[in-house]
Amino acid sequence: MTDSPPTTKLPAQSPPVDPAETEAAGHATPTATAGPTGGLSWWHGDGGEGAKRNLALIGVLLALFAIGAATRSDLYSNPDWVWANMLSILKLASVVGVVTVGMTFVIIGGGIDLSVGAIVALAGVWCTTVATQSFGAGGMIFTAIIVGVAVGLVNGTLIAYGRLVPFIATLAMLVAARGLAAEISQKQTQISQNNTINGIASTDLLGIPLLVYILAAVVAAGWVLLNRTTFGRRTVAVGGNPEAARLAGINVKLHTLLLYALSGLCCGIAAIMLTAQATSAQAAMANLYELDAIAAVIIGGTLLSGGRGTIVGSLLGVIIFATITNLFAINGLSTEAQNMVKGGIIVAAVLIQQIQFGSLSQFFRRNRLTTS
């Protein structure tokens, strides 16, 4: 009689895991790590990096306020002027701030969008044509948003499915969108005749401009989308490691397409806001907005290589640049000096990223691999 071979008890298999849940667990772990005292040490984990950087940015804003108070004590000694000036800074930052929210998602997702300023111009020109204005404020808003999303979808299609480098695809769109805007407007300034649209820039609610409320709503929606939804977790995953995200079951191409569509949506909203401020639109509007948005995102702590970033940090970056512009204006300093200071801040922020994460080398390495 032959003894039967001993049976090996196999470990019970775990049930299938949703990739989105895996991503959520991976990004939620640092915030739940026990610290030396046994409590939640979110301040010392990866989740604390954003909080530390945001506090540092708030410190920069306070330093700028102190500089303003020291250089123009005659103005800063008046509380009413200080409050009005703060609202003016927020109003100045509102349009670029909305564009920056979309740019933040694109860069966290591992891309870049150089065409946002041109998309704002194209959407603004298209929504102020005589034919579009005949449909009223609703028709103008609908047109601006549809144009923004459509151009964003073209960018996303070229990048995700056409396998073009984001830098090249969006640079080409920058030129093409500006050219189309000039063709539609016949290189003329188009006046907005709609009082509802024009009133967006001049309306105050509880003493705060409506433009600031729009910025706050877009920022809040962007924060929720990035931090409390599967879409946000997948954005971080795609930007951190596209191949790992694909193996985890994420449709990387479709997600990339949606990221650029989201950027276009923000540009459409910004086009309405900018048109309301100027009561007109032209092909040259929103010039260099792409650089302002990218700079604000970098200052806010988003890595150029993708996979890490915060909406609040990007907002603080926009406000810092708006504050610098305001500070130079009230002191009568030249725009050239202002641009040099901004350039120095951008270089310093990128160098800090390079030292901490090596993000710049990763960014260029990824684009080099994409082209090969």
Looking at residue 50, what is its pLDDT? 67
What is the C-alpha separation between 39 and 212, in angstroms, rounded? Answer: 38
Q: What is the CA radius of gyration of the chain?
A: 23
Confidence label for 364 from pLDDT (cuts 50, 70 and 90): low
pTM higher than 0.75 for the full model? yes
Query: What is the widest separation between alpha-carbon atoms in the chain?
Result: 106
DSSP three-state, residue 6: coil
Helix (H) / strand (E) containing 240: helix 230-240
What is the C-alpha separation between 89 and 94, in angstroms, rounded? Answer: 9
Looking at residue 44, what is its pLDDT? 52
What is the C-alpha separation between 212 and 93, in angstroms, rounded? Answer: 9
Positive or negative: CA dihedral 346, 171, 186, 211? negative
Residue 309 and residue 47 in contact, taking contact as beta carbons nearer than 8 Å = no
Residue 276 and residue 198 in contact, taking contact as beta carbons nearer than 8 Å = yes
Looking at residue 343, what is its pLDDT? 80
Rounded to an integer, the average pLDDT of 312-334 is 90
pLDDT digits (tens, 9 = 90+) for 7-21: 444 444 444 444 444
Q: Which two tokens stand for residue 45?
A: 């984990």
311-330 and 289-299 are packed helices; what angle lies between their axes, rounded to 10 degrees?
120
Rounded to an integer, the average pLDDT of 214-233 is 96
What is the C-alpha separation between 129 and 132, in angstroms, rounded? Answer: 5
Q: Which two tokens stand for residue 100?
A: 């920056």
pLDDT digits (tens, 9 = 90+) for 60-97: 899 989 999 998 988 888 999 999 999 999 999 999 99
Confidence label for 341 from pLDDT (cuts 50, 70 and 90): confident
Positive or negative: CA dihedral 46, 293, 262, 350? negative
Residue 87 and residue 208 in contact, taking contact as beta carbons nearer than 8 Å = yes
Break the chain down into helix, strand, coil percent, rounded to 5: 75, 5, 25
- Given a cut of 60, whether residue 42 has pLDDT beyond it is no
What is the C-alpha separation between 233 and 3, in angstroms, rounded? Answer: 54
Query: In whole numbers, what is the pLDDT of the chain averaged over residues?
Result: 84
Looking at residue 31, what is its pLDDT? 40
Secondary structure tally for the chain: helices H, strands E: 17, 4
Long-range contacts of 52-59 (CB under 8 A, 24+ apart): 53/300, 53/301, 53/310, 53/313, 54/301, 54/310, 54/312, 54/313, 54/316, 57/299, 57/300, 57/313, 57/316, 57/317, 57/320, 58/316
Q: Which two tokens stand for residue 81?
A: 């002027």
Rounded to an integer, the average pLDDT of 121-132 is 95
Cβ neighbors of 294 (< 8 A, separation 6 or more) are 103, 107, 112
Residue 119 and residue 175 in contact, taking contact as beta carbons nearer than 8 Å = no
Looking at residue 306, what is its pLDDT? 87
Cβ neighbors of 82 (< 8 A, separation 6 or more) are 75, 76
Nearest to 338, CA basis, from 281, 283, 295, 282: 295
Q: Work out the percent of the chain whose per-residue pLDDT is above 90.
A: 63
- Given a cut of 60, whether residue 262 has pLDDT beyond it is yes
Looking at residue 303, what is its pLDDT? 87
Looking at residue 48, what is its pLDDT? 62
Looking at residue 345, what is its pLDDT? 79
Instruction: Identify residue 298 by its one-letter amino acid code.
Output: I
What is the C-alpha separation between 259 and 283, in angstroms, rounded? Answer: 25
